[in-house]
Homo-oligomer: A and B are copies of this chain.
Amino acid sequence: MKRYAQQTRLLVAVDCIIFGFDGQEIKLLLIQRGFEPCKGKWSLVGGFVQEEESAEDAATRVLKNLTGLDGIYMEQLHTFSSPDRDSVERTISVAYTALIDIKRYKQLHEDFHAVWFPINHHPELIFDHDAMVNQAKEKLRYKAALHPLLLELLPPKFTLPQLQQLYESVYNTSFDKGNFSRKILSTGLLVRLADKDKLNSRKGAFYYKVDKKKYNVNLHAFLNFVPEALMKKSAAAR
């Protein structure tokens, strides 16, 4: 029995902008749409919100279905609601940004035709998905300067050179190693492990992990993490 009987009901979907880091650069995961219209065109992964689930649950389901992974870090980006954003039928989309460690991802189904693209070199997308990606990229850059969320793109243990490479790929610049190391360690968020990565360097770099206990307490250690001048440059480049 519907109580708000006279009101307009709309289709509600979720769309996921999935970023990964392959050790060199940030990548975006796209799929080929499986049905008309625009069959075969590149798209974000998404799906309709069902009767008994929240949008967040729907996004979690969609991500799990595509990647097989649990516990993916995601956050709501924006709700896109222009009446004509979907050429088939009016659909509201709650967009989520997800960050995954590419090495944990294993494509489960050939059906999706899921492919990783460099973040700045991907094919044109259907509907307003390009706008979603652009907004997600901008928000990632902005927020990563203020919040340690880029750590979600790394494996549970990582090295300082890997972390620096990640930041350099997001901001398309290079940081002084000594200064970067001092600054990231001064946040108090990382714990040095005893073992070293001997594969990627002669001397071997110490592995680090995130200190879960300090994570929430020290979030604000990340304010001002990326120099203001660089934020200006980043903004001006868009």
A residues lining the B interface (CB < 8 Å): 2-4, 7-12, 48-56, 76, 78-79, 81-83, 88-92, 94, 145-146, 219-221, 223-224, 228, 231-232, 235
A55 to B220, CA, bound (A): 32
Query: What residue of chain B has the Cβ atom nearest to residue A93's Cβ?
Result: B79
Known contacts A4-B11, A224-B224, A224-B228; can you find 20 more A-B pairs with CB under 8 A? A2-B89, A4-B88, A4-B89, A8-B49, A8-B50, A9-B11, A10-B49, A10-B51, A12-B12, A12-B92, A52-B83, A55-B92, A56-B81, A79-B94, A81-B94, A92-B92, A146-B146, A220-B231, A220-B232, A220-B235
Q: A79-B79, A81-B49, A81-B56 are in contact. Are A10 and B9 (CB under 8 A)?
A: yes
Closest beta carbon of chain B to A86's beta carbon, Å: 9
Q: A12-B12, A76-B79, A232-B220 are in contact. Are A51 and B90 (CB under 8 A)?
A: yes
A82 to B55, CA, bound (A): 8
A219 to B89, CA, bound (A): 38
Q: Are B82 and A54 neighbours in the complex by a CB distance under 8 Å?
A: yes
Residues of B near A76 (CB, < 8 A) are 78-79
Residues of B near A221 (CB, < 8 A) are 228
Residues of B near A146 (CB, < 8 A) are 146
A-B contact pairs, 22 of them (CB 8 A): A4-B11, A7-B11, A8-B11, A9-B11, A10-B10, A10-B49, A12-B12, A12-B81, A49-B81, A51-B90, A53-B83, A54-B81, A55-B79, A55-B81, A56-B81, A92-B92, A219-B235, A220-B231, A221-B228, A223-B224, A223-B228, A223-B231
Q: Which of A79, A83, A89 has the most CB of B within 10 A?
A: A79
